[in-house]
Structures are given as C-alpha cells and as structure tokens.
Structure 1
Amino acid sequence: MPLVILTGYPCSGLSHRARQLASLLDKAQDELFASTSCPLKSRFKVHVVPSHDASHPRTVYDHARTEKEARGVAYARAKRVLARDSIVILDGMNYIKGWRYQLWCEAKAASTTCCVVHVGTPVDQCVANNDSRLRQTAQQPQLNDKPTTTAEGAPAEDDEEPYPPDLLNNLIFRYEEPSTHSRWDKPLFTVPWSDPEPPVADIFHALTGVQLPSAHTEAEESQISNLAETLASSTISETASIATGTRTVGRGGGVSTRPKVVQHQATAQAAATDPSALYAMEKRTSSIVAALRTFTQSHPSAEAALAQSSNNKGISITVPDASIPVFIPAHVATAGTTNELAGAGGILTLPRLQRLRRQWISLNRAYIGHGHGVGQGGLTADQIGDAFVRFLNADLSGEANENVAA
C-alpha cells in the first residue's frame, strides 16, 4: 500500500506523469512475475487519485475555502484506496509542505512506505503550456493547437483544463519546493521536463524494496557480486546490516535497504479505553476517602488511635478496594496543631483528602484503561485502589513534599 505523492508547478505535466508512472509500474510488475524468481507474492493494484474533477476545477485555488474542500476530497479518495495490495499515486500540485506532511503521516499510520516525485518543469515551460491550453479553449471545438514545446514521450494532445494567467502566477509564487532535508519529502525523485520517463526502477525499489531485473547492467551486477563477497568476508558486515535494517529479497541475491516503517505516537491509534474506567476510578477513590472519614469519626484523637494501633510506629487503617493499608507515621500524626485527626489542622481533614483525590485523578486520568499510547501499559480497575493508597501514604508521610522540594 505505498503512496506516491506527485508535486510540481501548475501545468508542469503532472497528470501525464501520473498516468505514465502508473503504466510503468504495471510493466515493472509484469517484468518481475515473468522472471524465474519473483520476490512478490501478489501484484500491486495501481490507483491514480486525481486532485481535480468537474466539481472541483482548477479555479478552486482562488479561495482558501474551496481549496481546502478540494484537498479534503483528494485526501479522502487517497485514504479510501490505500490497501495492503495497492500503490496509490496522488496526482496534483501538492505544493504545500504541510499538506505533504499530512499525507506522509497518513502513510505512516498505515505502516507503509511513501515517496515524493517532483516534476521539475521550468516556469517558462509551464507558462507556455498554460497559454497553449488557453488557445485550445478559445478555439473549441477545433482542437488543433499543440503545446509549444514537448518533451520526448509527452502527450501529443494536451486536453487539460487551463489556469487563469493571474492564478497561474500566484500558484507559482506560492509553491513550496520539496527538500531532502524534510523527512516527509524523502525519498525524493526529480523528473525533468526533458526526461522521457520517470526513474521507475528507483521508485519501485524505494516503495517495495524489490530491485527490478533490468535495473542493473552486467557490469553493475559484477560490481555488486564482488562487493557482496567482500562484505561476506568481513565480520563487520553482519553488524552493519543489522544496524541499518537491511534485508535480502529473493531476486538474484540483491540487497534491499528499504527501512521498516514503524509508527510513532503521533500516528499510532491509541488502544480502546474502557468506557467505565473513569467511573471505576471515581468510585474506588471515593470509597477509600469515605473509609478514612469513618475511621476519624470512630477515632477522633490521634493519641487514642496510636494507642489502639497494633503497629507502634504509626496508625494503620484498612480501606476497601486496596490490599495495602493507609499508614500514618506516629511523628506525623502528632505533629499537627490539634490532636484531632479530622479537626482543623489535623492530618486527615476532609478538604485535604478530597484535594489529594482530585490531584491523583487528574494525574492518572490518561493512564486508566490502557489508553495512554501503545506499549506503555496502563492502570487497570483492580490496581486503582493500591495506586491511590500508595499516593496517600507518600503524601501523609511527607515524602511527596520532600520530592517536590528536591
């Protein structure tokens, strides 16, 4: 499901290159399946997704609203045909680097490769092509006018829709050229106007990691075999191939340097969160606060609670939904301005417990139900009680304040 993003000036022959590239990719697959050992298990379906149609003509670039709508339609079309067995060629200027980045992210989210093909037609030639289209439109239905200059292999008749001259100059001025310094523009292939065909072998290798049989001459194959023998005799070669992520495909011992596409957190879809996870968090933490409140009502005095405690080092309070008790050290329980646990200035006042509960929920809301990214784990409903008690123990013992001060 690789994605090919065409880009170039308006009237640079983008649609012609898109059709030409689709035809060459089909021929390349025919060549592979005709060989004795084909590394592909099945053929790729080649889809050409246009950026314009009768509902979205080239005049949509006159206004930001209509241009954004046309880009949304092209984006939906490309996303719809992205499949495991498809190569999608997005025809159009794609002149905004932020737009190309969005397409790159979509390919990244689909765990597939992506490349940019820059149709490098000079500005003067683009203006000449547009003037020829304007003359053809003015002379309809007699379409006998031809483009002023055509490259070898260019279409004999140019029936594309022309741009208004002012809009053409505006789009040329607004064009943001692709750069190899941008990760979303790599790998980048430039096709000059004078070239009869795009470098289909290099493009196919970048997309699939498979080298075409006709990509190398006999001399090049000899050089590759000599290089392979040299690398095989070196102990460093194995480490280098592992570090660069190279792999071997089944075509004549050729080595593919196609990187494995790994999703990052910006494009990876987060795991589904249990809809009742937040409710369970609220319910379990509230029950723990209620149990502490009940304990302070039956043991209002800190000294009396310490006297009745089985642990001489502090007060141990058993709470529901938790396997560990809430523990208050003896020096902390008696360090308040009052002897009452829940009185003003006490260690277990209700406003303080509610504040700690809200603070803990705000810190752990993103982790509940394994909803925080991929592979980072999460907090299940059974772990809520113990996690909240550990947070309370750290705060009641003074460790949280020491960590903040440090």
Structure 2
Amino acid sequence: MKQLIGNLKGDRVIWSFVALLALFSFMPVFSASSNLAYLGHGTGNTLGYLVKHLAHICIGFGIIFVVHKVPYHYFRALSKIGLPVVWILLLYTLVKGTVIAGANASRWIQIPFVGITFQTSTLASLVLFIFVARYLSKTREEPIDFKESLKELWAPVFFTLGLILPANFSTTALIFSMVLMLVFIGKYPIKYIAFIVGSGIVFLAFFVLISKAFPESRFFSRVSTWSSRIENFTTDKPDEDDYQIEKAKIAIASGRIYGLGPGKSVQKNFLPQSSSDFIYAIIVEEYGLLGGLGVLTLYLLLLFRFVIASHKANTLFGKLVVIGLGFPMIFQAMINMAVAVELLPVTGQTLPLISSGGSSIWMTCFALGIIISVTKKDEEIEEELKVAAKREEALQKLIDDELASEEVLNSDYSIEDKAANPMDAVLNK
C-alpha cells in the first residue's frame, strides 16, 4: 500500500477529495438503485448495481493513475487530432444513438463486443476544452485577429456544440458557458466575446425555428421537451418533471437535519432517476442537511484546490487546462444539486463521482488525471533538482575520497619502498 501511495504523484489534496467523494458514493448508489432493481428483475436486490458501480470506480481510478503519468503537454497536440474523431462519434450518436436507464434522449452509443454504453458528449467536452486552452496559450503573446479566431477557434467550437445540441441542450449550454469563461480568463477581447454570445443566441433561435417547421423530425424531437421544462419551471402546470421535482422535495424535507439513516430513503422507490440525476435528494433524505452540506463542501474545497493548482502551473496552457477541465466538473455538481432543490429546471446532469454511470465517471476521472498531471510537473522538477543536487554532492564526495586515498597510497608506497630496498638508500647516498 505504501508503495502504491508513493507512486501517486501530483496534488495529494486533490487525490484525497476525489477518493472521499468516490468512497461516499457507494452507500447512496447502493440504496438508490432499488427502483432500478425492481424494474430490472423484480427482486429489489441492489447488490449487482453496487458491484457494477465498484467496477466503474475502480476503472476510473485506473484511468486517473495512467493519465496522470503522462506529461500534460502531450494532450496539446492530441486535442487537435481528437476533435475530428469526436465529430465522427457525435454524428454516429445522432444517427445510431441508444436510450438507456429510462432517459428519453439518444445520447449513448453501444461499444461492440463488450456491451458497454458510452456518452459521447462527455468525451467531446474534454477534447473541446483542451482544444480551446491550446488555442489561447498559442496566441497569448500575439494580438488576436478576430477573423482568424473565427476560423481556428469558434468554427470547431460551434460545430461541436451543434452536434451535441439536438440530444442534450443542458450539456451544450454548460459547455458553451465554460468555453466563454475559459476565453475570458485567457484574455480574449471582451467585445469579441459579446459578439460570440450574440451569435450563439441567434444560432439557438434559428435551431428552434427550424424545429417548429419540422416537428416530426427525430433530429428536433428534444426541442418540445426543452420548452415544456422551461414552461413548467416558470408556471404551475403539472407534468412528469414536476413529479420528479415533487418527490425530490419530499425526500429533502424528510431528511431534516440528521437524515433518516443510510438505506432508509422512501422516495428512492418513486424517483425514476434516483441513482443518477436525483441522487442528491436521496443523499439529503438519508444523511440530512448535514450530509448534503458535507457533499457541497467537498465540491467547493475541490474547486478551491483547482484554483490553487491553476495558480501554481508553470505554463499558460497548464493553467487553462486546469480551469477548463476542473471548473465544469464543479459547475455540473452545482447544477445537479440546484435541480434537486428546484432552483433550476430539470437538466439531466449527473453528480460527478457520486451518481451511477460508466462513461460519466470515466470521463470525470480522465479530466482529473490530466489536472493531476499538471500539478505533478512542478513537483517532479523540484524532485529532480533535489536528486541532481544529491548526486552532485555524492559525486564530489567520491572524488574527494579518491584524491585523499591516492595521496595516502603514494605516501605509503614511498615508505614501503625505502624499507624494502635499503641498498637503494645507500646507493642514493
């Protein structure tokens, strides 16, 4: 165990917070999966879902370990190569995407021969954030030409978002917001950002207008869901989302200060997405207000650590990568919690590292591996300098010892020669 911990490089505080969130996730997932167990095979036995979640977490930590060993600047070039691959996957998802876990959108693809479903938008967001960080770090020392940035930066961004939008508006909005935050931090001119925001609104309005003209098209099938969710959030019109929100609010109210206790949630049997989208409501019901605030505090501490890691990064690309990959993770958690308490309309965003699901956990771990790789760079340089200094000191000591031993040997040989050959001494006289 000590050897394994010794092989973990980078920010140990980030490692600790991630491990705490992952360990805590087992009890809520084990408890909240009961409705899926009843729907799946009618027994209500959630042990299989717990084992599945354990496998996802173990694979996720394996991803962190492997990725954090890779120098983060390698991902600079990989983002440019990976973007066309992501476009192909997103296009395939639009055409051949599948629906899982009771969701009503085709956001996943089935990986052949292994039976694993994968949400392509999660990978697309990571590649896109690294791509934006690469562009901003490349142009940092030069004045930005807006026309050139439209071609090199915004055309790939809008094309990627356009492929995600038909199936997942909330993810598209989150990615677009985080890209805007990233370019703002990267010193992209504000007047250009304002133009991009206006263009994004026009693009969305144009998409909605086309959907009204072709309401039967599968490509625009989600637009009615978006509008109904926004309408239901601002009015008292009942629908399926209101049912979920009401059950989530009942769960939160039932938890009070200390909660009902682990595994004692009642509303987990009524919430359709109790182990993913609404798992925070189950956490508050079972662990109370203290448990809910504890989870929120962990995410805020992780955000604070990302800020420190970004400040300590020795390159602009490293700073932007930490912000671009770390901040969306925390904002996604905030959105999930806000939906559970009805501060936002239903979005379908999971709680990172806690909600059940394979691809969401793995992509979160992939992002964390890159972030830890950034924090590892300074640590490695310091260790190399210390090791080099120790080696130089040891080499100098060895040289000094060799010189001292040679002097002693030379003096010893002269004494022995005189003692062994007395005639030489007489002849020399």
TM-score under structure 1 normalisation? 0.19
Larger Rg, first or second structure (1 or 2) = 1
Higher helix share: 2
- Structure of greater relative contact order (alpha carbons < 8 Å, 6+ residues apart): 2
- TM-score, normalised on structure 2? 0.18
